[in-house]
């Protein structure tokens, strides 16, 4: 265990693991709220913010020229989304023999990029190394500009992939999937789509049909806001970080010169992974910046640097399959594998945080008895201390004012919240125009016409930015995260099945929902490098669908009639009830890692503390089914490799 040398926020510094645990507990207890998740509401449910539902980045003059769906259209493969997952699934399907013209993307946005399309706040970056995060680098030959890529570069990369594979014309943009119902006679999905108009309204839904549907819906999509008293009354400019308003701030994503903030008082609520990237940018321009904090993030250094192309070619892109090998090297360290590879290729804040394995599991630590599990939790918490202590020490090194430094220290295990990495965030608080307003874990008391109230003190602000996060991805099924209803065979509702008891095969498919797939991480490999998890899901789905294709080949669709003759691909792929139950039980048997975050400070990761203290065995069993594969990404990859090599498609039915 590392030494515990930091100063506590209140009282004496913890000097032992026991004292530190007590400190963690008191900070946790302070933040636990009886209203849990219901303290938040969707951004769009507040009338004042409804306008943010419209796509601010779409060029309205092109609305009438973009490709659109027509009632009665029929497609082979509908892919819901135009983000990274949608593109990676598309590419893997092309490699499996499906044709470009068989793929049809649907998205409410007007371009490719998903998360990186919507989020365009100043300072936006991905904190996972670009060489492993940016998909298909080998295939596109692209060399990322920096070790960590900016939001613009990531969005442009999505466009690059679409162009390389000639997919740009294959999207129905500004189109929302309303619902999708399986027709078991015609073996097709009957999908209702609503086109969004330039005035913000929607056309009446139309109906299209498709043999396959892929739900690449993303993880964190619906911005949320806390239900703070008076939030509607604020008279100044106010927007969520996920819908940055450059008209208010000035500048653009390409040139974040926030000139309109000169002379203004700006407030930002939240200090999560988004806000810590935004604060340094606001600090450059605002006359006065108030950062309203409920819980400090643990902010380690990022050390971003430009990519030297020659070095990249020599040291990074070392031969075919380099990206996969580098990704595997990365997760070996993050998941605390034993033994670890000799060389730490990525060698950054993630790979020096073995305690992150608390969330994603590994093969080295697989406790089975209650006693072993207890010891494992103790081990993982002790393992975390050294790193989290170093992150707290970093605050003291950077922050000049000791009182501010004390408030910026995270008092929880590093894996309780998204670990953050930034080279300028903490230093922003040394600037004379930046003030940390710590709410001592309680949050904002009230918002008035002119500003915010915290502990009886009013802070005047002209512009208010909500860095208050998104609806938790842990609580809903892939379609449920975006409010789409999926009805499978005999009216089975996918979101209800998911919330009753998650049941999938390999995290990508479910019985009663033939020809429908989605990427993990629930019941699949967990990894902070989410694009790797996406790729593993895409490879598995391409293998399944490609096997159907090999069995049946493709035909020329008939121009009229019904059922299979209208499609090129005349097969169905579905998980069997037995296969998915066996897999779900295997997930449950390794789900001990879920308990490691017991006592963690509330966040979207533990449903704001609602998952704590559950003792009802039925509820616990249900929770265990929503875990990632507890033996880690490497073991998940091995399981899938062996499953594919066996070739008997255990747990899957492919019918012609
Ligand atoms: P978060 O949910 O992480 O942060 C929300 C913030 O709002 C928290 O600081 C929260 O405080 C605060 N908050 C909520 N309610 C109140 C209130 N009533 N008063 C004051 N403060 C309040 O959202 P983010 O958008 O920052 O990040 C979400 C996720 O997006 C990340 O976890 C990460 O997965 C992803 N992301 C990834 C990035 C990357 O580089 N890969 C970059 C940015 C985001 P409290 O902590 O107390 O709840």
Question: Does the CB atom of residue 583 touch ligand 1 within 6 A?
Answer: no
Residue 445 lies in a domain: no
Question: Does the CB atom of residue 274 touch ligand 1 within 6 A?
Answer: yes
Whole-prediction pTM value?
0.95
Which whole number is the average pLDDT over 75-102?
97
User: 470 alpha carbon to ligand 1 midpoint, in Å?
Assistant: 8
Alpha carbon of residue 292 to chain centroid: 24
Residue 96 lies in a domain: yes
The reported pLDDT for the residue numbered 563 is 46
Which whole number is the average pLDDT over 414-436?
97
Q: pLDDT confidence of 12, banded at 50, 70, 90? A: low
Closest C-alpha residue for ligand 1 atom 25:
469
User: 526 alpha carbon to ligand 1 midpoint, in Å?
Assistant: 20
The reported pLDDT for the residue numbered 7 is 47
Which whole number is the average pLDDT over 457-467?
98
Residue 485 lies in a domain: yes
* pLDDT higher than threshold 80 for residue 4: no
The reported pLDDT for the residue numbered 134 is 98
Q: pLDDT confidence of 1, banded at 50, 70, 90? A: very low
Q: Compare 542 and 594 and report the one with higher pLDDT.
A: 542
Question: Does the CB atom of residue 271 touch ligand 1 within 6 A?
Answer: yes
Domain that holds residue 104: 66-112+168-220+475-587+628-655
The reported pLDDT for the residue numbered 11 is 52
Q: Tokens for 616?
A: 């009802």
Closest C-alpha residue for ligand 1 atom 16:
443
Q: How far apart are CA 532 and CA 526, in angstroms?
A: 9
Residue 45 lies in a domain: no
Locate the DSSP E strands across 81-174.
103-106, 171-172
Question: Does the CB atom of residue 224 touch ligand 1 within 6 A?
Answer: no
Angle subtended at Cα 202 by Cα 199 and Cα 205, rounded to the nearest 5 degrees: 160
Question: Does the CB atom of residue 115 touch ligand 1 within 6 A?
Answer: no
Q: pLDDT confidence of 595, banded at 50, 70, 90? A: confident
Residue 204 lies in a domain: yes
Residue 483 lies in a domain: yes
Which whole number is the average pLDDT over 332-337?
94
Closest C-alpha residue for ligand 1 atom 20:
443
Question: Does the CB atom of residue 443 touch ligand 1 within 6 A?
Answer: yes
Residue 571 lies in a domain: yes
User: 67 alpha carbon to ligand 1 midpoint, in Å?
Assistant: 36
User: 299 alpha carbon to ligand 1 midpoint, in Å?
Assistant: 13
The reported pLDDT for the residue numbered 560 is 59
Locate the DSSP E strands across 184-230.
188-195, 206-215, 224-226
| Tally of domains in the chain | 1
The reported pLDDT for the residue numbered 135 is 98
User: 271 alpha carbon to ligand 1 midpoint, in Å?
Assistant: 6
Closest C-alpha residue for ligand 1 atom 12:
270
Question: Does the CB atom of residue 220 touch ligand 1 within 6 A?
Answer: yes
- Lowest mean pLDDT segment, chosen from 56-70, 253-267, 638-652: 56-70
Question: Does the CB atom of residue 228 touch ligand 1 within 6 A?
Answer: yes
On whether the CB atoms of residues 417 and 469 are closer than 8 A, the answer is no
User: 418 alpha carbon to ligand 1 midpoint, in Å?
Assistant: 8
Which whole number is the average pLDDT over 634-643?
96
Q: Tokens for 250?
A: 């000035």
The reported pLDDT for the residue numbered 303 is 95
Average per-residue pLDDT in the chain?
93
- Lowest mean pLDDT segment, chosen from 72-76, 130-134, 553-557, 563-567: 563-567
Ligand 1 site-directed mutation target among 468, 529, 605, 607, most atoms within 8 Å of CB:
468
User: 472 alpha carbon to ligand 1 midpoint, in Å?
Assistant: 11
- Write the DSSP assignment of 317-378 as a string of letters: S-STTHHHHHHHHHHHHHTT-SSPPSS-SS-STTTT-GGGHHHH--SS----SHHHHHHHHH
Closest C-alpha residue for ligand 1 atom 4:
272
Q: In degrees to the nearest 10, what's the CA dihedral of 596, 602, 605, 607?
A: 110
* pLDDT higher than threshold 60 for residue 252: yes
Q: How far apart are CA 41 and CA 170, in angstroms?
A: 34
Ligand 1 site-directed mutation target among 272, 277, 423, 473, most atoms within 8 Å of CB:
272
Question: Does the CB atom of residue 249 touch ligand 1 within 6 A?
Answer: no
Which range in 34-38, 149-153, 378-382 is most confidently predicted, on average pLDDT? 149-153
Residue 148 lies in a domain: no
Q: How far apart are CA 582 and CA 426, in angstroms?
A: 48
Burial of 140 (0-12, 13-18, 19+ CB in 10 A): middle
* pLDDT higher than threshold 80 for residue 559: no
pLDDT above 90 coverage of the chain, percent: 81
pLDDT above 70 coverage of the chain, percent: 97
- CATH number, position 75: 3.50.50.60
Q: What is the pLDDT of residues 180-214, one digit of tens each?
A: 999 999 999 999 999 988 777 899 999 999 999 99
Question: Does the CB atom of residue 243 touch ligand 1 within 6 A?
Answer: no
SS3 content of the chain, % helix, strand, coil (to 5): 40, 15, 45
């Amino acid at each position: 265990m590392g030494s515990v040398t930091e100063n506590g926020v209140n009282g004496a510094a913890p000097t032992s693991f026991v004292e530190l645990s007590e400190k963690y507990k008191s900070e946790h207890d302070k933040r636990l709220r009886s209203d849990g998740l219901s303290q938040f509401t969707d951004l769009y449910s507040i009338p004042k913010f409804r306008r943010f539902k419209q796509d601010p980045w779409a060029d309205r003059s092109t609305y009438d020229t973009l490709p659109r769906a027509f009632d009665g259209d029929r497609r082979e493969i509908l892919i819901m989304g135009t983000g990274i997952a949608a593109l990676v699934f598309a590419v893997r399907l092309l490699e499996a023999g499906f044709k470009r013209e068989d793929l049809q993307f649907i998205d409410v946005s007007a371009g490719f990029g998903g998360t990186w399309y919507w989020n365009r706040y100043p300072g936006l970056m991905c904190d996972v190394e670009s060489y492993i995060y940016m998909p298909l680098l080998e295939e596109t030959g692209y060399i990322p500009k920096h070790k960590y890529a900016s939001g613009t570069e990531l969005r442009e990369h999505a466009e690059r992939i679409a162009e390389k594979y000639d997919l740009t014309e294959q999207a129905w943009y500004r189109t929302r999937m309303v619902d999708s119902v399986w027709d078991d006679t015609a073996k097709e999905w009957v999908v209702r789509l609503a086109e969004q108009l330039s005035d913000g309204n929607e056309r009446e839904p139309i109906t299209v049909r498709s043999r396959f549907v892929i739900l690449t819906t993303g993880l964190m999509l619906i911005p949320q806001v806390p239900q703070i008293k008076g939030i509607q009354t604020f008279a100044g400019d106010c927007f969520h970080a996920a819908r940055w308003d450059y008209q208010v701030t000035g500048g653009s994503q390409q040139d974040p010169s926030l000139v309109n903030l000169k002379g203004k008082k700006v407030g930002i609520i939240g200090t999560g992974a988004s806000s810590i990237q935004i604060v340094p940018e606001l600090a450059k321009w605002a006359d006065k910046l108030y950062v309203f904090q409920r819980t400090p993030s643990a902010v380690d250094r990022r050390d971003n640097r430009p990519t030297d192309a020659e070095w990249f070619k020599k040291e990074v892109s070392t031969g075919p399959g380099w990206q996969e090998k580098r990704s595997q090297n990365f997760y070996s360290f993050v998941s605390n594998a034993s033994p670890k590879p000799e060389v730490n290729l990525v060698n950054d804040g993630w790979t020096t945080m073995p305690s992150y394995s608390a969330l994603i599991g590994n093969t080295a630590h697989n406790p089975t008895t209650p006693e072993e599990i207890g010891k494992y939790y103790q081990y993982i918490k002790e393992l975390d201390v050294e790193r989290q202590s170093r992150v707290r020490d970093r605050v003291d090194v950077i922050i000049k004012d000791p009182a501010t430094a004390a408030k910026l220290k995270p008092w929880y295990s590093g894996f309780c919240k998204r670990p953050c990495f930034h080279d300028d965030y903490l230093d922003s608080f040394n600037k004379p125009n930046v003030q940390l307003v710590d709410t001592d874990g309680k949050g904002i008391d009230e918002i008035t016409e002119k500003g915010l109230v915290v502990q009886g003190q009013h802070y005047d602000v002209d512009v208010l930015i909500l860095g208050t996060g998104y609806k938790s991805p842990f609580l809903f099924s892939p379609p449920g995260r975006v409010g789409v209803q999926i009805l499978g065979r005999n009216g089975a509702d996918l979101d209800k099945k998911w919330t009753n008891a998650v049941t999938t095969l390999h995290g990508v498919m479910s019985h009663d929902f033939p020809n429908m797939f989605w990427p993990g991480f629930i019941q699949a490999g967990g990894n902070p490098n989410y694009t790797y998890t996406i790729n593993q899901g895409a490879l598995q789905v391409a293998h399944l669908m490609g096997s159907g294709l090999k069995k049946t080949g493709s035909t020329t669709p008939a121009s009229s009639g019904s059922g299979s003759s209208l499609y090129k691909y005349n097969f169905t792929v579905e998980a069997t009830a037995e296969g998915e139950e066996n897999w779900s039980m295997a997930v449950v048997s390794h789900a001990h890692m879920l308990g490691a975050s017991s006592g963690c400070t509330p966040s979207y990761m533990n449903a704001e503390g609602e998952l704590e203290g559950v003792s009802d065995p039925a509820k616990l069993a249900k929770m265990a089914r929503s875990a990632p594969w507890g033996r880690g990404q490497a073991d998940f990859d091995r399981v899938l490799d062996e499953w594919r090599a066996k070739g008997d498609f255990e747990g899957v039915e492919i019918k012609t």
